[in-house]
Structure 1
């Protein structure tokens, strides 16, 4: 037909109407071009959850200060003694999951309702203590502030005095904790933090009591200057993420003037260094996530360097699917994380 032209139409993920509605309501905020107004709107819409949640009787929680000078704190979740199989001294100690929330290094916090709910689900599903770290966010605190805060949280837990206070007195009670079974977990930008902190911990903490037994990267946020096939094909297809949004996040987080080929973003290829003690990794990939090609390159890099990595794929998953408990894949993810933790935790 004269005057016609071909237009690439992005595929649409199969989502229930309830999830589609939530994402549609989010779009006008995420894709506003005025970054200052966007941050204000997101802060206004970011509903906070207090640590005590009576509608979750099997999970207890408390907020703890890690470093008051930089406003660093964490929300700690633990199973109630009645929820654990056995709270006696003869029972196996609980693994610890240190969680880093997503939000492009810019948005959300450990107190955001979706992340409070997600960490409660992890705590209950894994029967583990979950420490959700509220790291400093960009653009007020650019690279490497988030990584420094995450590392400070691990060092805090590794300290004998603070560990006894945080993990025993405030939350855990009679339940014992195994710091040799510590797992790093995070989604999106939090998954990016998991990689960098696992590398830094493996490089500098050989004498520490805390042992990072595994790394769980849920749809990790990596990137580079060139556009991958999935970025071009799935731009806005998942409605929770777009190239415009990812570019904005990198501009806010990376040092002023840095490109997306900065080492914080680009973690694939021959130039990436990995410490000998880099832990086994589990990488979660969604079929409708525009970041999936970068995640595939990351997995290839880990394997090329002899690291143990398990890939868990959800073909119909959009970026952020784990935030919606009504999605079947969200429940399956809890099961997969539990399998990974059970496989790599210390054997007593």
Structure 2
């Protein structure tokens, strides 16, 4: 589909049809998905299983455990992961998130918990935030793998793209609920290419307005579908600076935040500004901004994925 065709029917590329009453109908899954593999062949180094979080909302999580650790008494760091997709498409079952989480669990020797939250426009924000916060609280419920293999005193909240945005919002809420979360103890947030927005255009958005991965018109549509009805891109869900978001509890808890991205991403200016803004608020920020790349490059070029894993490992080991 050409950009001209996409703009004339902007929802088609998201697998949506806009109805005359303003509602939307999903006509296609944009990304393929993989079935859970609770008992994979012995040659597969990662074990997975799916667990229900809230049956009423149909939210669940896919857990990833290195096979080599199944008989080990050593507890592993736990990474609660939120997938990307502009809040609109994809799921924890999308095949590239399956591969991404498997590789992270393997390279970092960590237990990954990848959350499947409700998508907009059927469920606009803050539904996704609420689902992911519920998943964080769910970690206390006593799943067998978590009980046996996770070090609940060494937990991280991670997300890429829209998931990075969610990780920030859930982290902000969690920092005010540390007593309720115990024995789960958050050590830091990992915001990889977080999806942010604003009414005023940045230089990178203008420079990469026709980007193949996330062109400017598509980013605007995603926000229009995800934000509460009537809100614009300066809403605090999209633009944390305009929302006067308070990070004082993150500072007092001593959490660190990793913000990472690539210059070829149209959102890079907003990501770098987020890191600067957090630092100005007193947060301990680790930055990893690199030349080249694009939004979601790890899913298209494994060399970028391989370069990311040591960054994540160093961040988690530096406790």
The normalised TM-score by structure 2 is 0.89
Q: How far apart are 1:42 and its partner, in Å?
A: 8.2
Aligned twin of 1:328: 303
Q: How far apart are 1:281 and its partner, in Å?
A: 0.6
Alignment partner of 1:132 is 2:114: yes
Paired residue for 2:199, among 209, 225, 233?
225
Q: How far apart are 1:323 and its partner, in Å?
A: 1.2
Q: How far apart are 1:43 and its partner, in Å?
A: 3.5
**C-alpha distance in structure 2 between counterparts of 1:333 and 1:234, whole Å:** 23
Change (3 A) 1:341 1:139: same
Aligned twin of 2:280: 304
Segments of 5+ residues of structure 2 without an aligned counterpart are: 17-25
Alignment partner of 1:241 is 2:214: yes
Higher relative contact order (CA 8 A, sep 6+): 1
Paired residue for 2:295, among 319, 339, 347?
319
Aligned twin of 2:35: 50
Q: How far apart are 1:51 and its partner, in Å?
A: 1.4
Aligned twin of 1:163: 142
Alignment partner of 1:121 is 2:103: yes
**C-alpha distance in structure 1 between counterparts of 2:295 and 2:287, whole Å:** 16
**C-alpha distance in structure 2 between counterparts of 1:122 and 1:316, whole Å:** 22
Q: How far apart are 1:194 and its partner, in Å?
A: 0.5
Q: Secondary structure at the match of 1:142?
A: coil
Alignment partner of 1:180 is 2:162: no
Q: How far apart are 1:107 and its partner, in Å?
A: 0.4
Preserved CA contact (<8 Å) 2:204 2:267: yes
Deviations 1:293-337 (A, max 9, x none): 11111111110111001111121110101213x442221101110
Aligned twin of 1:62: 49
Aligned twin of 2:229: 256
Change (3 A) 1:244 1:58: same
Change (3 A) 1:190 1:28: farther
Preserved CA contact (<8 Å) 1:269 1:301: no
**C-alpha distance in structure 1 between counterparts of 2:292 and 2:77, whole Å:** 31
**C-alpha distance in structure 1 between counterparts of 2:6 and 2:103, whole Å:** 26
Aligned twin of 2:23: none
Considering only aligned residues, what root-mean-square deviation do their CA atoms show, in Å? 2.3
Preserved CA contact (<8 Å) 1:202 1:276: yes
Aligned twin of 1:104: 86
Preserved CA contact (<8 Å) 2:7 2:217: yes
The normalised TM-score by structure 1 is 0.81
Change (3 A) 1:203 1:319: same
Aligned twin of 2:65: 78
Change (3 A) 1:270 1:116: closer
The number of residue pairs the alignment matches comes to 304
Q: Secondary structure at the match of 1:70?
A: coil
Q: Secondary structure at the match of 1:157?
A: helix
**C-alpha distance in structure 1 between counterparts of 2:308 and 2:224, whole Å:** 31
Preserved CA contact (<8 Å) 1:223 1:261: yes
Higher-Rg member (1/2): 1
Alignment partner of 1:209 is 2:183: yes
Aligned twin of 1:341: 316
**C-alpha distance in structure 2 between counterparts of 1:98 and 1:285, whole Å:** 20
Segments of 5+ residues of structure 1 without an aligned counterpart are: 1-24, 169-174
Q: How far apart are 1:179 and its partner, in Å?
A: 0.8
